[in-house]
Chain A
Amino acid sequence: MIQLTNVSKRYPGGYDALKDVSFELAAGEMAFLTGHSGAGKSTLLKLITLIERGSRGQIVVNGKNLARLPRRRVPYFRREIGIVFQDNKLLNDRTVFDNVALPLIVSGVDHGEVGRRVRAALDKVGLLNKEKLHPIVLSGGEQQRVGIARAVVNKPPLLLADEPTGNLDAELSDEIIDLFHEFHQHGVTVLIATHDLRQVDRLEKRRLMLRAGELIYDSGRDA
């Protein structure tokens, strides 16, 4: 699903965020990407989602060589990836329902279909009764679950998360990570960037560790 070959990212000014990183994540696999802040976790996710482009090396996601993907194809490529952010990036001027519906609206899904799929996604994250509320009145854990519902409503084959539990306490973090695990069990490829080692130990999934832009540890498939 994700294949990195000797990928480097150098920012203007000469700072190397990633140095010669190579790994492969098979379809349906779940993995944690760990490391301290500034180790390159976020940069790696940005390269995979084409928010930024790599300086060297090759990245293939879902069969697409990102270096050869023109700018105008990027939106269609992103529809195949569900992304969850630490700050959840919800739109506070719209209801929970409208937030979750956004990816469907964007890809032009039929009107009747939108309602059905939004409710299915909200049901999965246990927020079906909150669809009419605005995200701002929800708790941090609930907001993050809305973010997850939005990421999966399109049924993407790949789910990426950048510190999804960064702002949550231990109990809520467990709930969120369990939710990702559930999607993994339904066949979705999941890659979670986190420095919450407790979660990594709890689930015993594959672990990739970055330090100063280098991949220093890879536990291999489903360690």
Chain B
Amino acid sequence: MIKNYFLRHLQTLFFSLGQMARAPLATLMTVAVIGITLALPTGLYLLLDNLQRLSGGWDAGVQISLFLKQDIGDAEAGRIAERLRAREEIESVRYVSRQAALAEFKRLSGFGEALNLLDENPLPAVLLVRPKPAHGSPQAAAALARSLGETRGVDLAQLDLEWVKRLNAMLSLARRGVILLAGLLGLAVLLIVGNTIRLAVLNRRTEIEVVKLIGGTDRFIRRPFLYSGLLQGLAGALTAWLLVALSLALLGGPIADLADLYGSGFRLAGLGAAQGFSLVLGGGLLGWLGSRLAVGRHLREIEPA
């Protein structure tokens, strides 16, 4: 009984494949349209994914500068640094004394001579705090900076992260946009498959009437259409995967060159196996659903007369 059931499904599958093979041009065009439609959001998703990875590399460089009050001496500063190192969010703390800060400033700013004219060192001592990677996200780092700012002896905690925050805000906006676009294009795939299947249903009107007359259930009549919708969706998703992989192969070289020029080891990441599998699964699902909607609507209209 169960063997029979699978056999019948297998027969329907091959019947649908045969039907598609008999109209290769129409099938190819539908599959190509679905492929391009799915490739667009997939490509954008990958772009965002890569940007995220790129900016993720920058997140690791998050550093909080704690400017100490003027009356804190070296010994006191050392004790504060020691207490900070004990905190679990913090990776390392480096102490820059007032003298060291002044020397560095003279070296880097070019105001060396002018500074010599000052009676006393105007620069505060600084503790450079580097959070652990787990606490390196903009939100966590900002929270840490706020908390450190209230430490006794600390005048000001400064987190130079504004631009990373802005980039991340833009990325999450773009991600929202891609999701929206993916939704719309998914709907487009639904309509494309729906329309193809609608035409197929109308083309086989006579056959459907005859099958209804000799006692074919709706489920039986629906089955081959559902299979061809599923197959078109799957083939379209595979095409999308191929298109994205091709585009990446074309862009990969120049991007690697560019990254090397900036001294970065960044490389474009392609679609992983899990992501590719989700794409194919989603494509198949959309094809099946589009077909189901179209067949459901038109099957009732076709009654023998």
Residues on A lying within 8 angstroms of B by beta carbon are 49, 51, 72, 75-79, 83, 89, 91, 102-103, 106-108, 110-111, 150, 154
Contact = CB atoms under 8 A, between A and B. Distances in A.
Given A102-B210, A102-B211, A111-B7, A51 B216 contact: no
A49 B210 contact: no
Interface string B171-212: 000000000000000000000000000000000001101111
Contacts of B304: 51
B210 A75 contact: no
What are the nearest 7 A-B pairs in CB distance?
A: A79-B215, A78-B215, A106-B216, A75-B217, A103-B214, A75-B215, A89-B210
B206 A75 contact: no
25 contacts: A51-B305, A72-B217, A72-B218, A75-B212, A75-B217, A75-B218, A75-B220, A76-B215, A77-B215, A78-B214, A78-B215, A83-B214, A89-B209, A89-B210, A91-B210, A102-B211, A103-B215, A106-B211, A106-B215, A106-B216, A106-B220, A107-B215, A111-B7, A150-B214, A154-B215
Contacts of B220: 75, 106
A91 B216 CA distance: 15
Interface of B: 4, 7-8, 206-207, 209-218, 220, 303-305
Contacts of B216: 75, 106
A102 B206 contact: no
B7 A91 contact: no
Most buried by A among B211, B214, B220, B305: B214
Contacts of A103: 214-215
Contacts of B303: 51
A108 B217 CA distance: 11
A71 B216 CA distance: 12
B4 A102 contact: no
A49 B212 CA distance: 11
Contacts of A76: 215, 217
A91 B214 CA distance: 13
Contacts of B214: 78-79, 83, 102-103, 106, 150, 154
A91 B8 CA distance: 20
B4 A108 contact: yes
A110 to B, nearest CB: 6
Contacts of A108: 4, 8
Contact of B213 (A49, A72, A110, A111): A49
Nearest to A111: B7
Given A51-B213, A102-B214, 16 more contacts: A72-B218, A75-B212, A75-B215, A75-B220, A77-B215, A78-B213, A78-B215, A79-B214, A79-B215, A89-B209, A89-B210, A91-B207, A106-B211, A106-B214, A110-B4, A111-B4
